[in-house]
Chains A and B, each alone.
Chain A
Amino acid sequence: MQKLKYLLLTAYRDSRRDRGKLALFMSAIVLGIAALVAINSFNYNLVKDIDEQSKSLLGADIVITGNSKVPENLQKSLDSIPGVKASEIELFTMSYLPKTDESQFVSIKAVDGDFPFYGSLLTEPKNAYRSHRKGQFILIDHGMMLQYNLMVGDSIRIGGVDMPIGGRLKSSFGSISAGSSFAPTVYITPELLEESQLIQPGSMVDYAQYFKVSEGFDPDEWKKNKRESFRNESLRIQTIEDQKENLQEAFSSLNYFLNLVALVSLILGCIGVASSVMIYLKSKISSIAIFRCLGMKGSDAFLIYFIQILGLGLISVVIGALLGSAVQMLLPIILKDFLPYEVDMDISWRAILEGTSIGILITMLFALVPLVSIRNISPLRTLRANANDSETGRDYIKYGVYLAIAMSIFLFLLQMTESWREAVAFSVGLLVAFIVLFAVSRLITWGVRKFFPRSWSFVFRQGLSNLYRPNNQTQTLIVSIGLGTAILTTLFIIQGLLLQNVGSMDAGNQPNMILFGIEKSQKDELKDLTKEFDLPIIQQVPIVTMKLAAWQGKTKEEWFADTSRTASRWAINREARVSFRDTLNADEELVKGTFTGSVAKGDSIFVSLADNYARSLDVEIGDELIWNVQGAMITTYVGSIRKIDFRSMQTRFFILFPNGVLENAPQFQVLVTKSPDTETTAKYRSAVVKAFPNVSVIDLGMILVTLNDILKKVSYIIQFMAGFSILTGLIVLISSLFLSKYQRIRESVLLRTIGAMRDQILKINFVEYFLLGSLSALTGILLALLGSYLLATQQLELEFDIRWLPILIIFIVVVGLTVLIGLLNSRDVLNKAPLEVLRKEIA
């Protein structure tokens, strides 16, 4: 007890005049922990709110959805659910706005019954939803009303029927995706829907039934029993539990990215911790030698500094947790456009507890790397400043610390990714980066010594030789700056790739308008209208809907009863939208079999399947497939398998028939074109909607604008969060370079003393820091390229295509800052008398 008191007192006394030196150490922890706490708090609040709001977001206990009506036998089972019922038809179609002579693609919802049972639809006027269902008027999305300057009382035309607007829609059910921004919701009554005659073959219709169950009825238990039979008919059952899971899943990629930022900040913070503690201890070596000389045990000297670091670490962790909690209040403001509801931001004690405990554990482990060396500082240093510290062979404690660091990072990664594979991959990646940087630093010291340019100028030789002479900082700086650069560059490359991959969809001569729901009789007229607008007809394809009835000699029902079935349910059940033509498109590549373009009457029909569809159905070339084409059975064989480039903006078909089979089947047409500008698009759309009310025009340009908007916001979030990492990275850089101050100052002062000019010292330092900065940055960037390539191709499935300009900027910034801070380090030497500096820095 007495000893502990003494150690605490000495730790306090010793730190009294030097706490400022630990400012870097504290900043590194504060930023790392702030990022961790902010991100975790946000995630926990989001999950808590998901739990609380799932009920009102779903609006019912059970929801059945599908793109076809529920068959009679299943409807009976639905009708037996005790409680209240409502139903909804959702349809995507075009609307015409007579007020502005414009058109808009909308999602129409017609509700029959008392839905929503939980929560409420926000409207203006407040009771508009209830009153709209009694009368003949509609509710329109608030955003769309603002966009087209529509007022309550105006009308819009849907399917040839003028419908008066009765109110603004401020919220909608189930709209957690950004899709609603290019297809705004319009609530109409079932009567109006029928009058508009919009439900026709080829229409994109979804049916929903809502149930509020009676007390004592368990929706999840019911779902468990019925799921199979509903799935067989491509019908989906959703309960409040599912809604929670869906919401959590919807936010999982956001979580993934935010966690990545937290990890980067934490690791950079840890490098900052290790190097700043190293700087601090360098300034303490003589004090430690005196303590040891006066009879202090090595372990006690270690404990004194351990206590100091622990104390300041704890303070920093608390400040970091407070800062993180404050920042999390900002996150919902930044992310508000992505959230389906307002997230209540409470203080998350769990996040704070986790952040502080992980923070203090990892901080102390990283601080231990330089701290354990204290035990070996020789008391002989009091007599000779350059005495060697006692080497007691292998320091197993040090190895233990390294092992504990590796374990803790791995466990942190495991907790974050919840996947052994990813945790191992990330840990190995970090280890490889560390080893490569270490090897590069060794190679540089060896290479410079071996191939030293003896004939070069004094200044250059002096700067260059600093890379290998005793007390060189090559290893420390290359590893810390290199690792920092690698981690930050990876983050930037991945950010760039994410934005670039989506942006490329709008590039070049891609079509930007798709018209669908065209009846066979309208085909030629629409073609003429399109030509009148001088728009190219890039594609005009017929679509026939059909369902798979049997394959490989067994019917669908027989297959479902077969437990050895390998075909995926989605591939069997989907309502296939099939086209027919005699050639392959440019975005299609034949990978197996022979493509048959046309077939004579009575011959075997060979169809072409997309590779992923063939895989899901587990069929091969020659297998028999029987289709139910709206009542008529057609037997076909797999003739070829195609690979399709899904990035092109064209209609794509899993199943392609040859010409000569489906020409007379009930069908609708799709037309793909490209509009040169938004003005033409608007005019063309209006003309189409006026002439063909049943035809829908999807403006891909508009979708891309919306996507770009979203991406801009995503990019803003990425930059905001990456800000943490940049700040921590800067601290790593500053602390790494401060380390070097102690190495170089004595030499610079001596050179000054024997008459070196200010410029010469500056140039020597410039050469050394420029070489260190550029070699570290270069190695870091090369590692980042490798790391981000693996991350992009293996984890995120992005196309890897690098933009070099931002990387060049990173290189210049890292090298520039290294040189700048390095030169600032030597300003004392340049501006003051040598003796003054010697007294202050060395005595």
Chain B
Amino acid sequence: MDKILEVNNLTKIYKGINKDLIVLDDINFSIKAGEIVSIVGPSGSGKTTLLGLCAGLDAPSDGTVMLTGEGISAMSENQKAEVRNRNVGFIFQNFQLLPTLTAIENVMIPLELQGKSKGARDIARDLLSRVGLGDRLTHYPSQLSGGEQQRVSLARAFSNSPKVLFADEPTGNLDEETGEMVEGLLFELNKEKGTTLIIVTHDLELAEKTQRVIQLKGGRIISDQLN
């Protein structure tokens, strides 16, 4: 399979009282397996909406999204959930760890959702050690710093060996030093696992480190070029 993500005529419109708001307008692009792509653009350009639609978190008003060869736009919520669990990993700006679960339990979730409880603990422990948190396995998110939380989030994102990893401003809530460390880990793990990485960011320095940059403005792609 060559193309892992294919977006055709994607449009998202929010119904307003007086006027409809077009957030994404006829977006077309595709991403090959193993590619590292960044989506950049000013606030309100539609980056996060595009990420949500590509990952099957939201439904488009028009157009289609093919993720790992499956047309997710027409799928039910449960079918999309299954695709996400099998093929997709996420990293969020605000980490989105489950506050009631320990670090290791957070990392185990995607595997357990696949019914792979056996061995999940070992995989999670290895990944947490890989991101330098081997001694914080049973800590709750509230007992971890922001950088540590994002590293747990990284470990979780890779735990189910996803084909595509979506990252929404992964360093946006971190200081420069911690941000760089997380970036380093993200690229390292991605290289190791051969995952397709799609990053939404404001950070042009981070975008420069990716292979391809898609630039959005006013809900349209204004450039799509290789670095």
Contact = CB atoms under 8 A, between A and B. Distances in A.
A383 B101 contact: no
Contacts of A18: 100
Contact of A384 (B48, B98, B101, B115): B48
A6 B100 contact: no
Interface string B79-109: 0011111101010101011111100010001
Contacts of A2: 115, 117
B57 A295 contact: no
Contacts of B86: 295
B187 interface: no
Interface string A294-312: 1111110000000000000
Contacts, number: 91
Given A17-B140, A299-B78, A294 B110 contact: yes
B96 A290 contact: yes
B126 interface: no
Given A383-B57, A390-B77, A13 B100 contact: yes
Contacts of B58: 378, 380, 387
A805 interface: no
Given A6-B117, A843-B94, A297 B78 contact: yes
A13 B117 contact: no
Interface residues of A, number: 34
Contacts of B105: 13
Contacts of B98: 14, 287, 290-291
Contacts of A378: 57-58
Contact of A293 (B48, B59, B96, B99): B96
A297 B168 contact: no
Contacts of A10: 109, 112
A716 to B, nearest CB: 46
Contacts of A287: 98-100
A387 B100 CA distance: 22
Contacts of A286: 96
A296 B94 contact: no
B100 A16 contact: yes
Contact of A382 (B90, B112, B115, B156): B90
A379 interface: yes
B100 A295 contact: no
B214 interface: no
A3 interface: yes
A292 interface: yes
A348 interface: no
Given A286-B96, A287-B98, A296 B85 contact: yes
Contacts of B99: 17, 287
A203 B78 CA distance: 87
Contact of B100 (A17, A293, A294, A380): A17
Interface in B152-179: 156, 168
Nearest to A284: B100
Nearest to A287: B98
Nearest to A10: B112
Contacts of B117: 2, 5-6, 9
A13 B101 contact: yes
B51 interface: yes
Contacts of A384: 48, 52
Contacts of A246: none
Given A2-B117, A16-B100, A294 B77 contact: no
Contacts of A382: 57, 90, 92, 96
B85 A294 contact: yes
Given A298-B77, A382-B96, A383-B168, A3 B82 contact: no
Nearest to B118: A2
A826 interface: no
Nearest to B112: A6
A296 B81 contact: yes
Contacts of A297: 77-78, 81-82
A15 interface: yes
B113 interface: yes
Given A17-B140, A294-B84, A382-B92, A3 B115 contact: yes
Most A CB within 10 A of own CB, among B77, B92, B115, B156: B77
Interface string A772-800: 00000000000000000000000000000
A406 to B, nearest CB: 29
Contacts of B156: 294
A804 B86 CA distance: 66
Interface in A165-223: none
B74 to A, nearest CB: 15
Given A286-B96, A290-B96, A295 B77 contact: no
A251 B90 CA distance: 67
B57 A379 contact: yes
Contacts of A15: 100
B115 A291 contact: no
Given A380-B52, A380-B57, A382-B57, A295 B85 contact: yes
In the A-B complex, the 8 residue pairs with the smallest Cβ-Cβ separation, listed nearest first, are: A295-B85, A295-B84, A380-B57, A17-B100, A297-B78, A379-B57, A295-B81, A380-B58
Interface of B: 48, 51-52, 57-59, 77-78, 81-86, 88, 90, 92, 94, 96-101, 105, 109-110, 112-115, 117, 140, 156, 168
Interface of A: 2-3, 5-6, 9-10, 13-18, 286-287, 289-299, 378-380, 382-384, 387, 390, 843
17 contacts: A15-B100, A17-B99, A17-B140, A286-B96, A290-B98, A294-B109, A294-B113, A295-B86, A295-B113, A296-B85, A296-B113, A297-B77, A297-B82, A299-B78, A379-B57, A380-B58, A390-B59
Given A13-B105, A295-B82, 15 more contacts: A6-B117, A9-B112, A13-B100, A286-B96, A287-B100, A291-B98, A291-B109, A293-B84, A294-B109, A298-B78, A382-B57, A382-B96, A384-B52, A387-B58, A843-B94
